[in-house]
């Protein structure tokens, strides 16, 4: 990597500074157990503490926010340790707009951060968009200059996000992927962004909250759409540190080392043992 950004601390700081310079207010991470939200056990995304801001973006203390949110997701529990990239507990870098900027700025700033600040090589990057989101395609392709063959249209499972819980704000999304190389891939002929293997690492999700899913199942358009993005700190650390997986980054290596230090000498650190070590590091 060309940039000097390496450690998790560097990444957090560069991200927050980038969005502070673009008129965002830095908001501290909310508690892992959301306050006054009967629909959620845990904070699973940066937007959780702002859920109501999207519903009525009037008289808010700010309309642009940036945060580094501690998150807990039980949904990926079975993948932890088996893939290079899944966690139950992780930190999400996010920038948010509540009825303020929308798709153009979200996409332009994300690309600027990735290319100018992190200095990731564009030839390793891909983006996905929701299948019929021609506006997002136009922004990525015509405005940003991402070649059409690097823009993948994916369906609801991958590229429509939310709501968290049964009701609430949701919308189409667009993701940025880093090609970690053939050696990390499944080798199948159809392997591409969106594949479940570790080759195309999705590290930033740009959500365009445009709807509220109501209890009766209808999608009500939001009067003023917003932006909700989430970038995986551990995944960006893996990329910036050229690490083998998330467990070999400066975030997890000390935990892995501590677990290894408790094991009897001569333990075979591959296979089941490696899986177990990674799981304990994640849960710790």
Using CB under 6 A, list all residues that contact ligand SER: 45-47, 94, 161, 205, 207, 228-230
Nearer CB in complex with ligand SER: 234/256 = 234
Question: Least distance to ligand SER from the beta carbon of 8, Å?
Answer: 18
Question: Least distance to ligand SER from the beta carbon of 162, Å?
Answer: 6
Assign residue 122 a region: left if phi > 0, alpha if psi is -120 to 50, beta otherwise?
alpha
Question: Least distance to ligand SER from the beta carbon of 268, Å?
Answer: 36
Question: Least distance to ligand SER from the beta carbon of 266, Å?
Answer: 42
Nearer CB in complex with ligand SER: 69/256 = 69
Nearer CB in complex with ligand SER: 66/207 = 207
Question: Least distance to ligand SER from the beta carbon of 217, Å?
Answer: 21
Nearer CB in complex with ligand SER: 207/277 = 207
State which residue has the least CB distance to ligand SER: 230
* Cα angle, residue 111 at apex, residues 73 and 140 outer, rounded to 5°: 100
Q: How far is CA 204 from CA 166, 173, 213, 228, in A?
A: 23, 10, 23, 11
Nearer CB in complex with ligand SER: 137/161 = 161
Nearer CB in complex with ligand SER: 93/256 = 93
User: The tokens of 247 are what?
Assistant: 């467990």
Run of H or E residues at 106 = helix 103-112
Q: How far is CA 146 from CA 128, 154, 235, in A?
A: 11, 17, 22
Radius of gyration of the chain (CA): 19
Count the Cβ atoms, other than its own, within 10 Å of residue 146: 20
Question: Least distance to ligand SER from the beta carbon of 207, Å?
Answer: 5
* Cα angle, residue 251 at apex, residues 120 and 65 outer, rounded to 5°: 65
What is the spatial distance between Cα 88 and Cα 221, in angstroms, rounded to a whole number?
32
């Amino acid at each position: 990597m060309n940039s000097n950004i390496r450690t998790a601390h560097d990444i957090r700081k560069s991200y927050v500074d980038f969005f502070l310079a673009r008129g965002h207010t830095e908001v501290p991470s909310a508690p892992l157990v959301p306050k006054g939200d009967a629909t959620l056990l845990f904070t699973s995304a940066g937007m959780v503490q702002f859920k109501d801001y999207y519903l009525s973006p009037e008289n808010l203390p700010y309309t642009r926010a940036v945060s580094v949110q501690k998150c807990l997701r039980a949904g990926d529990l079975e993948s932890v340790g088996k893939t290079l990239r899944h966690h139950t507990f992780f930190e999400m870098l996010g920038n948010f707009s509540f009825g303020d900027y929308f798709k153009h700025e979200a996409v332009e700033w994300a690309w600027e951060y990735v290319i100018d600040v992190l200095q990731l090589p564009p030839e390793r990057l891909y983006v996905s968009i929701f299948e019929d989101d021609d506006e997002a395609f136009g922004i990525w392709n015509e405005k940003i200059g991402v070649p059409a063959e690097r823009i993948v249209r994916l369906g609801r499972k991958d590229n429509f996000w939310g709501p968290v819980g049964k009701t609430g704000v949701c919308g189409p999304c667009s993701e940025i992927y880093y090609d970690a190389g053939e050696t990390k891939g499944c080798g199948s002929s159809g392997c591409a962004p969106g594949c479940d293997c570790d080759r195309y690492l999705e590290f930033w999700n740009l959500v365009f909250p445009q709807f509220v899913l109501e209890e009766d199942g209808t999608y009500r358009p939001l009067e003023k759409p917003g932006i909700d993005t989430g970038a995986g700190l551990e995944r960006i650390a893996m990329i910036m540190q050229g690490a083998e997986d998330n467990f070999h980054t400066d975030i997890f290596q000390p935990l892995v080392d501590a677990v290894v230090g408790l094991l009897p000498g001569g333990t075979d650190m591959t296979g089941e043992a490696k899986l177990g070590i990674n799981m304990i590091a994640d849960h710790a």
